[in-house]
Chain A
Amino acid sequence: MTFGSNFDTAATVWGSAAIGFAPFLCFFFQIVFPKSQLLIISTTSAFFFLLAASFASLFWYILNPVIGLGGPWSALIPGIFFQFIFRAAFVALYHKVESVIELSFEKTEEEQQQAISGGDDPNPAEHTDLQAAKNKLSLNDAACGLAAGTGFGGLHALLLFGSLLASETSDVGILYQPSCPKVPALLVSALNTFCFFFLDIFWMLFTFFGMRRRLIFPRGGGSLADINPLSRPFGHYFGNTRSGGNQALITVLLTHAMAAGFTTFNVFQYGCVFSLTTLPALTLATAYIFWSAVSKIYMPLPHSNVRLSLPASFSYGGGTTPTAAGGIHPLSSTTPERPPPEGPDLVEQFRNNDD
């Protein structure tokens, strides 16, 4: 019956849309939209996804229609690579903007200090205004990582799933594919979108973590043992080091490749049985990796924008204050003679590069 068919189509469309876009809408309106700075971050990260998609499509165009290297991986590999590159580029841009904003705050504070010391403080209210502005701005890697992931993943969902949804909306009837004869193609795509959105969030958080550690810590130093995650407690597996940051970035690349690879099961008949099980499992695994590897050390120290000349193997541990990290000598590049004063739960033993 036409009515039933129309109703089924509408139910499939709306239901799939709800599954596919609900996480994005929830994150966006609950977390991102109330804060103006997060809104700008989210919008900019969405633009960076668009740049990634543009470059990926250009390479695909060269590979597939021009050279003739067809197949699903010709579309997937450029997509994975350029999304990774542009995530990192976005975070690098964020660090630059962050430094400019911090400079402006420092300058305002200096001016106020001079005014106070000179006895000429025409506007004491500016002190509270400065603090209020700082509180309002509240730029930190967690919030900004979430917002950036929301923007990146949101446009990701809109472009890939939204295009399919829009094309299916106008048609009467439900599309099924050989890879999943029992499940509408819209629903399969919606479930893929759902998983990929959360993966985008984690990937962006990992990228923030990795790029921040690459910014803080210099090159060189360390040992192979640093790579062993089990040498650290739960929540610190990657380590608060440059190599830990690199590990986080590699995790992004690997898990993205795996996630995209799992969707290639849909090329085969009944392939959705594997794709619809492995993809959610990978999402959970990525969440677990985040939780176990970086969750306790995610936030950088307050002096995170200061380039510390320390060996790469030096680790702050789980504290978020300099005192909790114990015995940090920011400008010293030599081995400190005294050991870190804090307990072993929070602070790793400092290792001499010469050992």
Chain B
Amino acid sequence: MTCPDPMCQETTPKDAFNDSRSHHPDDQDEVERSPYRTSSDQNNEFDITDKDDDSRKNDSEQMDEKNSQRQPNNSEIMYSFESFRAIVSPVSITMMLSALAVVFFNTEETLAAGEQAYANTYQIVDLQDGNNAQNLGASLLNTLVIISIICFMTFVIVLLYKYRCLKIFYGYMVVVTALLLGYFTSNMFIVAIEIYGWKVDKLSFAFVMYNYAAVGTLAIFYQRGVPRWITQGYLITSSVCLAWQFSYLNDWMAWTLLVMLALYDLFAVLSPCGPLKALAKLISKPGAPQLPGLLYEASLPSGVQKPNRKQRHNDAPAENAVDNNHSAEETKQEEDPEGPDGRVSDSTNENLRITTAGKISVETKRPREIDDKGADEIHQLSGFSTGHDHSHRRNSRSEICTDTELMQSSRNGQREHNVGGITVKLPEHVDTSNCGSIPLALAKLYNLNILDLKGVLRQRRFSNKWKHFYSSAEVREGSWSQKQLRSEVTAIFPPRGGIISKAEEQKYDTGATFVVHNSSGEEMRKFVVTREGKVMQVMRRGPREERTDIDQDELSTIKLGIGDFVFYSVLVSKAAQYSFTTFVTCFFVVLFGLAGTLVILALKGKALPALPISIGLGVLFFLITKELVQPWIHATLRYNLYV
């Protein structure tokens, strides 16, 4: 599953416009990456038109082809290597702890009792001893029901997330996590206490488990003031506990469920109607809230960050880490950064979202503040002037507007203006009393009508005749090159409204700086239009150290879904229940699947979910080891041979 990265294709006005909200300039000094507005307010403010589906699909297909032929760059290779190294430790620890728990915190009696309990709960069709074909069929049917429920629940989560019913979602997750850490972990330890005869009284046990669950819930969902290693530890232990629970499934059910889950993961991530793909789209939007409790965050070593945006297409080292619970948050953002209206948004939207996730109560307010200001700004741009004739406004009108001679001839609802010797046809409703020279990218951002008096937008290069007037819809929907986007055109501002003018002090190397003034002449915002034709807003920022720490922290982490942890552990645990040889085999095969996927992603540039590869290889090699390798090893060890 890949999505076009605007940075890696010819910049079109749409892409530039879409990227303008979150593009990272080369000069990072003061120009911040930040969304200009949240997705929910976009339509109200700027009346953005979506790309139509066909053009989006064509772009997507073209980008897929380009990506498949593209060589990975060094930053992508290093990022994929370091991502694997960062994630292999927690995955390995979880798998080993799960195997130990399943083997040593169980007896034959507990396994039999647990299997019976799970059969009563999860099996619609009972399995019969000795009949493999019938067992396989029954397992497939039972797991199909389970997968259907999982799919349904995922869609419910998607709907809750989409319509921002997050309190319900968070409440549910808090309850589930608390139950998992409290009740189910207690069950596991009770079994261990009974097996090994540990001397623990009920009161102490309840006290410890209550605190364990409470701290764990706080660490996972609140996170403030909690060291990251504690949160990580709790996520690992919750995965271990879940894997221990799943070990009670019948062998047929467990292995069939793993295979079906791998296939479901393929569908959920790669198919257009997959719930995980939909969730990825939603999460990738700017300002979208995080999904705590579902993702494990591992730190990358210093100096390793996500690859440069210019080099990052469908860069998804964590792309592989997709699971039923929607893992690999940044993967989904990178691979499918479509905005809410179907726009292809820049992948740095997710950077900002990740940045904002660290301080939810602070960062997420900023987009809303900007949106409110933006809304006011639009009104002010189109509102009545207070009479304060700002010098910028006077200058910005320039000779273009003042030289206009209004001709009385009207044809088909259009007026003809003679501008500098050029006859320009304008619709009757267009008022050119307030206009100024700004880059096309800014005019597109503010949905302004423009006059192309210099011919920078003309299609035919050597033609003396070109279109002069472009409506806001044409500007918005047109396909513009970088040069065109940064070229200055005459923008027609709302009469008696605000204006946009070039800043007196041009202090950013990234591009030209423009200032937005309201009808009162007050400076509202400052933008920089880069060489690539992208628009970036200059933000007031907090202490450099604080922001740097947040940015660095968010850039130098990789996230993996808890579902991946759980199902890898289930696979390895079931293998460990059989023998040590199969456990070791499946352990390494899972890690190889993870490594192979990361490397393939770096080399091929194609997005792949990791769960199917690891689970598929794991199941295959479990069977091979069980039937062939283990007997061969026993034959060699029988006489203490070694080969």
- Chain A residues proximal to chain B, CB less than 8 Å: 33, 36-37, 39-40, 43-44, 46-47, 50, 53-54, 56-58, 60-61, 64-65, 72, 75-76, 79-80, 83, 97, 100-101, 103-105, 107-108, 122-123, 126, 129-130, 132-134, 136-137, 155, 158-160, 162-167, 177, 179-180, 185, 188-189, 192-193, 196, 259-260, 263-264, 266-267, 272, 275
Contacts A47-B592, A54-B621, A104-B77 given; indicate if A60 touches B71 (C-beta within 8 A).
no
Contact status A155-B588, CB under 8 Å = yes
Q: How far is the CA of A259 from the CA of B580 in the complex (A)?
A: 25
For A75, what are the chain B residues with a Cβ–Cβ distance below 8 Å?
A: 632, 635-636, 641, 643
Using known A-B contacts A44-B596, A105-B74, A130-B74, determine if residue A162 contacts B643 with beta carbons closer than 8 Å: no
Q: How far is the CA of A97 from the CA of B579 in the complex (A)?
A: 35
Interface pairs A-B: 6 shortest CB-CB: A166-B580, A57-B632, A79-B643, A36-B85, A36-B81, A57-B628
Q: Select one of B74, B85, B633, B640 contacting A177, CB under 8 A.
A: B640
Contact A107 B73 (CB under 8 A): yes
Shortest Cβ distance from A107 into chain B, in angstroms?
6
For residue B524, CB closer than 8 A to chain A, the reply is: no
B residues in contact with A54, CB < 8 Å:
621, 624-625, 628-629
Known: A122-B26, A159-B581, A159-B585. A272 touches B636 (CB 8 A): no
Q: How far is the CA of A105 from the CA of B78 in the complex (A)?
A: 12
- Judge whether B633 and A44 touch: CB under 8 Å: no
- Specify which chain A residues have a CB less than 8 angstroms from the CB of B640 in the assembled complex: 177, 179-180, 185, 188-189, 192, 263, 266, 272, 275
The docked-state distance in angstroms from the alpha carbon of A163 to that of B576 is 12
Q: In the assembled complex, how far is the CB of residue B406 from the closest CB belonging to chain A, in whole angstroms?
A: 45
A267: chain B residues within 8 A (beta carbon): 639, 641
Known: A123-B26, A163-B630. A107 touches B84 (CB 8 A): no
Residue in A closest to B628 when the chains form the complex, CB atoms: A57
Known: A130-B74, A134-B74. A263 touches B631 (CB 8 A): no
Identify the closest chain A residue to B531 (Cβ).
A122
Q: Are A76 and B641 in contact (CB under 8 A)?
A: yes
Is B166's CB within 8 Å of the partner chain A? no
Known contacts A39-B84, A75-B643, A136 near B78 by CB under 8 Å = yes
- Whole-angstrom distance between the Cβ of A120 and the nearest chain B Cβ: 9
Give the contacting residue for B643; candidates A61, A76, A165; CB below 8 A: A76
- Chain B residues with CB under 8 A of A163: 579-581, 630, 633-634, 637
Residue of B nearest to A130 (CB): B74
The A-contacting residues of B in range 41-62, CB under 8 angstroms, are none
Contacts of A159 in B (CB 8 A): 581, 584-585, 629, 633
Is B642 a contact partner of A160 (Cβ separation < 8 A)? yes
Which B residues form the contact surface with A (CB < 8 A)? 26, 71-75, 77-78, 81-82, 84-85, 88, 303, 308, 579-581, 584-585, 588-589, 591-592, 595-596, 598-599, 603, 621, 624-625, 628-637, 639-643
Of chain A, the residue at the smallest CB distance from B643 is: A79
A268–chain B nearest beta-carbon distance, Å? 9
How far is B629's CA from A79's CA once the two chains are assembled, in angstroms? 11
On whether the beta carbons of A43 and B642 are closer than 8 Å, the reply is: no
Per the bound structure, the CA–CA distance linking A260 and B585 in Å amounts to 22
- Which of the residues A104, A105, A123, A160 comes within 8 Å of B633, measured between beta carbons? A160
* A137 CB contact (under 8 Å) in B26, B77, B636: B77
B516 → chain A closest CB, angstroms: 26
Q: How far is the CB of A339 from chain B (nearest CB, A)?
A: 40
Query: Which residues of the partner chain A approach B591 to less than 8 Å between Cβ atoms?
Result: 43
| A328 CB, nearest partner CB in chain B, Å | 28
CB distance from A179 to the nearest CB of B (A): 6
Q: Which of B74, B595, B632 contacts A44 (CB 8 A)?
A: B595
Report the Cα distance A72→B636, complex, angstroms.
7
- Asked if A162 contacts B580 (CB within 8 A), the reply is yes
Residue from A47, A57, A179 within 8 A of B631 (CB atoms) = A57
Minimum CB–CB distance for A27 against chain B, Å: 16
Q: Which residue from A126, A185, A193 sits with its C-beta under 8 Å from B642?
A: A193
